[in-house]
Structure 1
Amino acid sequence: MQKIVFLDRATIAPQIRLRPPAFPHELVLHAGTPPAQVVERLQGASIAIINKVPLDAQALAQLPELRLIAVAATGTDCVDKAWCRAHGIAVANIRGYAVDTVPEHTFALMLALRRNLIAYREDVIAGAWQRAGQFCFFDHPVRDLHGARLGIIGEGILGQRVAHVARAFGMEPLFAARKGRPSPGRLYTPWDEVLASSDIITLHCPLTAETRGMIAMPEFRAMARRPLLINTARGGLVDEQALAQALDEGLIAGAGFDVTDGEPPAADSPMMRIAARPNVILTPHVAWASDAAQQTLADQLIDNIENFVAGRPSNLVEGA
């Protein structure tokens, strides 16, 4: 019998059904697990389910019966994949489940910031409409998406879907070549050109050693058109101190972030210090979390576990 332990079930909403795997098993659910309890809770488990709980080499070395880490997300940076590869532990992740919800959230942030919806809402609540004495007032600029140049960093399925929606709005999407790549090829626009010419820049790439901190002060200073910066990917892609400085200096028009570098962010973190600004929207990593997307994720999670036990593993992560 397989022992399966889900270390952070609360990272999937309670209304989402997690169906029992179709083989003899014991399933243990924990709402969340602090690092100090990871090894204890995974003792005797052959399958670990995690979303954001870190599994490093020190913990994995104490779990000789573990054979599969089923990640309930696409990103696997919380797992020491090199250690898993060296010791025969498979890592599987979730793919293709957020192809609608993440682009929709991305455009919700774009629209709210581009049209200054938050500022206008606050003004209306504060009585500014009555004080205006006419049918409307113009305290904040309203800009269309139509005709805007959208720089997309990350050309995977989410970046492609964002480009598809952008074209429907009449935007001009550009896929950025990788930073420092001299010959991007005809499908990509040079990195420096995307930074300099975009009205909005949106991030849809994984967090790796190569991409961590890819947007910092040199990049902000290269953003000649004062774009909006949208991040529904990973917080560590952007230097948050530099983001606050870029907003202070007016180098960008605003920021819409669904992620932070460390979640939840500390109360005194750069992201929390800028969160109340009218040109900043910070949401709590929920771009992926429509009910439909979460149910697709939960179903695929159990599919991955069943397929592994049946000897036909699915969604195995490269490098693991």
Structure 2
Amino acid sequence: MNIVILDGHTLNPNDLSWEPFKTFGHVTVYDRTPTEELIERSKDAEVLLINKIKLGKAELDQLPNLKYIGLCATGTDNVDLAEAKKRNIAVTNIPAYGTPSVAQHTFALLLELTNRVGIHNKSVQELEWVRSKDFSYFKKPLVELHEKTIGLIGYGAIGKEVAKIAAAFGMNILIYSRHANSVEYGRLVDLQELFKTSDIVSIHTSLTTDTKGLVNKELLDKMKRSAFLINTSRGAIINEADLADCLNKERIAGAALDVLSVEPPLADNPMLSAKNCIITPHISWISKEARQRLIDIAYNNLKGYLNQKPINQV
């Protein structure tokens, strides 16, 4: 069996191993694959393992040997699933591998917004404390999370983990979910109430035609001026022009984003210059522990397919 990994670098920048996959056949690993080289590298593959590579009808038409696509991610929007099904190509994904890491990063972003560790560390490194007349000072107001209200959009595995951590902080929890009928922490509300009532809104839903641009001017205008917005899900769920305008007019207190609508972002992305906006480069999933889980699950998915006992098939 010919197995090709087309964009392996972000998953495994040589600190993990692809060795187990060699038990299934010949393995070729490319760190990155430019669009113009995709077909040449994939044409003899029976198995493709991909992360963000896009496989639509045009690509699948040119890959007659392909039998299996292993998505090394939870999201499936980069593969035309209908076209894959027509060709009897099995597609699997990897749910829940990054749940602890993404929930942790959500709170890393939130705590940076509320406790301003980076700004104060920079101030100390620049010797402002040495020169200070007082034993203590603050550059920006700090915010206590206890009894603040966090609103979660989405209640899958990550949303549930964030809710659990929020409960440990003593926060009130509101949840908007199109699927959940009951929740362990907090209560279910509609989007309007969530945006109007929450001190923090945190996005944990998948990107679909229904959620693209979901967070727009109408909802942002309902938020408290003191509120924060966090996104560790998919960038396109937010209308970035609307959010940038909201931040620049100081309609809300700040935002923290691990994702943008286009990645890497274009230089003119309005979020890059928006006021009171923290951005990290889509790293919430990238702890070594989460990446090892991802590779382990990808291995088991392929093993299940080859044994005619499919796992995580979409």
Displacement of 1:140 = 1.3
Following superposition, the deviation at residue 26 of structure 1 comes to: 1.1
Uncovered stretches (5+) of structure 2, i.e. residues with no partner: none
CA distance in 2, matches of 1:280, 1:123: 19
| AA of the residue aligned to 1:8 | D
1:4 corresponds to: 3
Q: How far 1:122 moved relative to its partner? A: 2.9
Give 1:22 shift: 6.5
- Aligned-CA RMSD value: 1.9
Task: Tell me, yes or no, if the aligned pair for 1:266 and 1:272 is still in contact at 8 Å.
Answer: no
Distance, in Å, in 2 between the alignment partners of 1:290 and 1:206 is: 21
Separation of aligned partners in 2, 1:10 and 1:307 = 25
TM-score scaled to structure 2, two decimals?
0.93
Q: How does 1:32-71 map to 2 (within 5 A)?
A: 32-71=32-71
Compute the displacement of 1:213 (Å): 0.7
1:93 Cα deviation from its structure 2 partner: 0.6
- Residue pairs, 1:112-261, within 5 angstroms: 112-178=112-178, 187-261=187-261
Partner secondary structure for residue 285 of structure 2: coil
Cα distance in 2 for partners of 1:230, 1:314 equals 32
Give the deviation of 1:241 after TM superposition.
1.3
| Residue pair 1:19, 1:299 contacting (<8 A) in 2 also | no
State the alpha-carbon separation in 1 of the partners of residues 21 and 138 from structure 2: 57
Consecutive aligned runs of 4 or more in structure 1 exceeding 6 Å deviation: none
Give the structure 1 partner of residue 105 of structure 2: 105
The one-letter code of the counterpart of 1:47 is V
Name the count of aligned residue pairs: 310
- Tell whether 2:308 aligns with 1:311: yes
Give the superposition deviation at 1:126: 3.4
Identical aligned residues as a percent? 37
Aligned residue number for residue 92 of structure 2 = 92
> Aligned equivalents of 2:173 and 2:149: distance in 1?
6
CA contact (8 A) 2:229 2:254 kept: yes
Q: CA separation in 1, counterparts of 2:53 and 2:160?
A: 29
Cα deviations by residue, 1:83-137 (Å, 9 ceiling, x for unpaired): 1122211110112211211111100110111112233233333333244311011
Selected match of 1:301 from 286, 298, 303: 298
Higher mean C-alpha deviation, range 142-151 or range 8-17: 8-17
8 Å CA contact 1:21–1:306 kept in 2: the answer is: no
- The amino acid across from 2:296 in the alignment is D
Letter matched to residue 110 of structure 2:
M
Task: Give structure 1 stretches of 5+ with no counterpart.
Answer: none
Distance in 2 between residues matched to 1:102 and 1:115, nearest whole Å: 19
Q: Which amino acid in 1 is paired with 2:295?
A: A
What's the counterpart of residue 288 of structure 2? 291
TM, length-normalised to structure 1: 0.92
CA contact (8 A) 2:225 2:250 kept: no
CA drift at 1:219: 1.2
Instruction: Flag the 1:22–1:311 CA change in 2: closer, same or farther, 3 A.
Output: farther
Kept after mapping to 2: 8 A contact 1:3/1:27: yes
Identify which of structures 1 and 2 has the higher relative contact order when contacts are C-alpha pairs closer than 8 Å and 6+ apart: 1
CA distance in 2, matches of 1:22, 1:9: 15
Report the CA distance between 1:171 and its aligned residue: 0.5
Cα deviation code 1:139-187 (max 9, x no counterpart): 3111111111000001101000000000000011111144xx9xx8885
- Which amino acid in the other structure matches residue 281 of structure 2? P
